[in-house]
Amino acid sequence: MTSLEQRRAAAQEQQRRATTLPAPLFVQACPGAGKTRVIVDRHLAAAGGRRGRAVVSFTNVACDEVTRRCRDAGRPHLADFPNFVGTIDSFLWRYLVRPFLSSDRTWNRIDSWERIGATVDVWDGRRKHILRLSDFQWTRAPGAEHCRAQLQFRTKNAAAYKILESLRMLDAAAERAVRRRNALAKQGHITGHEARILALRGLSQHRRDVTSILTGRFAEVVIDEAQDCSALDLAILAELRDAGIPLVFVCDPDQAIYEFRGALPDRVRSFGLTLGVRVDLVGNWRSSPAICALAATLRPAPSRTADDPVGPSHDERGGVVLIRGSEALGEEILNVFNEYAQARGIALEQRLVLAHAAAKLPGGVRNTAVMPPDNHSARAEWAARVLVSDTVTPAQRETACEILERTILRYWFTDAEVENRTVTTACEQLGVDRSRLRRQAGRMADALSTPGETPSADWCKAANTYLKTTPPIPGMSRRSHTGSLQARTSTTRTAKGTSSAGSPASPRPRASVVHQVKGEEADAVLVIVPSDNRADDLIRAWQSGVHPAETAESLRVLYVAATRARRLLAIALPNAHCDDIAAHLEAANVSCEIINVETYVPVTVGNP
């Protein structure tokens, strides 16, 4: 058997080639392969010329990591002019969109329609349905004249969706949404989707100018997390490639989890191969052998070779822990996970709980999730908690502050005066001092922060009482009563998945939806596989290695979640599927252990 030193040397040689080979270059990296290190080393090695380098990623986590490593290397200037380190949305906006927009209006770049509370009214003949533009899936093929919308069925719009579906009005709702989106775009609101459309248009109409801007500024453009490229992104990159812009395309196609945007692994691979030289990074410096082996079982059958564990966890002996139990036993599942992590000496801050959707997280940790909930009152409570937390990111804090600012405005003004515009625009139109409003939001968070998972009637009552004393314009009268906060139910009950009698509350590790932890890692990870009608198809595809289109992305989401783990991976599975997956893993020589939460006897091991 090849020694660990030889395997590490081979992995380091792969990294060296990815660092030194000239662009254009296609780098395909497994989880934990050190691709961020490769990007930073490449950046450090070639720095100092007249031109800089653009390092573009789909995640703020990756951008922050590149910036931090440049700073740690004593060269913080490498994140500044003439270089660029930022998200792809920022890159497209700065170099391909904003220079070619007219100066006859104010342009607002927003991350989603949710940022401005954009809605559309749909009349079904008897009643009006108010739908959020963020409830629609937006697509536009490269070169198409118009975009398309499709209303997505979600809990918050279930009633409206079912009525419109029964009346065969979903297409009509989509048409109204497109018209509303077009009107907002003409007003100057630009989401990432609109920015990509404008970028393609700019490349078509101003190709020479765009090429001159980019080649004059950058020696090469590095695209990190490139598996998240949509069809529009790939079309833009193809234009840049054909214009002679040197590209370094870094990706793991098995981590493509934005299929709704057209991010498909085969398209990503095909584009990468057009760049010519390819380097594969298959040495995993993050995960244990058992975790690497399990991750391989989640790939399609032709590519199920396990990555090589060469990092500090290469000799971790523990296997994967399969926890058999329904979602209703969320507290018990957390107890098992925490106890196993504690037994391995893994600190609470190095534990992470993940699910595909926030609603599927155990109730006890759902309030630590990264993304705000959909319900208006729940969003306000989430924001109040985030603003007084010491463990949130600047982006989360900004989102939370805007939510509370909008909450205050909605309480005092009509929806028509507040929605479908940014907070900044609303303040300008309403004569509200934005800096004063922001201070009010901060004071509201200090006064109302609560550890509760969902807003109770008492919390909403206290919040409304506070809002009543906080007019955004001194001395103003309230113009509408639609903005009051309301609890979802009027009775107090135990939330699904929270602690039940006889089950002591478990320590609360950080929790998140999978899409928000791309690029992150933790010593111990608990993944929740929900008990819903899609579980049967997901389990069948996992076992067979045949990934049909309707199931493939769910498996890739599970793959991303599992590969965040360094030392301990626990997967909570529905009762009906736990034994099948255990047998499948055993056949693949993946070490695993089954724990039944209904019969598990907790063992006290001291403080968490």
Does 35 belong to an annotated binding site? yes
CA torsion 422-428-432-436 (nearest 10°) is: 70
Beta bridge partners of 28: 251, 280
Alpha carbon 318 to chain centroid distance? 29
As a residue count, the chain comes to 608
Question: Two tokens at 363?
Answer: 């109730």
Taking alpha carbons only, the member of 100, 31, 35, 104 closest to residue 66 is 35
Angle at 508 between CA 505 and CA 511, to 5 degrees: 135
Question: Two tokens at 460?
Answer: 């909403």
Q: DSSP states of 412-463 as a string?
A: HS-HHHHSSS-HHHHHHHHT--HHHHHHHHHHHHHHH----SS--HHHHHHH
Residue 58 is classified by DSSP as S
* Helix, strand, coil % over all residues of the chain, rounded to 5: 50, 15, 35
What is the rounded distance in angstroms from the CA atom of residue 386 to the CA atom of residue 367?
10
Taking alpha carbons only, the member of 122, 344, 171, 258 closest to residue 553 is 258
Does 399 belong to an annotated binding site? no
Question: Two tokens at 472?
Answer: 């955004």
Does 364 belong to an annotated binding site? no
Does 319 belong to an annotated binding site? no
Does 32 belong to an annotated binding site? yes
What is the rounded distance in angstroms from the CA atom of residue 527 to the CA atom of residue 298?
14
Q: Are strands 136-139 and 148-151 parallel, antiparallel or unpaired?
A: antiparallel
Does 36 belong to an annotated binding site? yes
DSSP element (H, E) containing 293: helix 289-297
Residue 534 is classified by DSSP as T
Taking alpha carbons only, the member of 136, 138, 141, 158 closest to residue 200 is 141
Query: Residue 98, class by beta-carbon neighbours within 10 Å (0-12 exposed, 13-18 middle, 19+ buried)?
Result: middle
| 155-171 as b/e: b if 16+ CB within 10 A | eebeebbeebeeeebbe
The three-state DSSP-derived secondary structure of 186-252 is: HCCEECHHHHHHHHHHHHHHCHHHHHHHHHHHEEEEEECCHHHCCHHHHHHHHHHHHCCCCEEEEEC
Question: Annotated binding residues for ATP, as ranges?
Answer: 29-36
Question: Annotated binding residues, as ranges?
Answer: 29-36
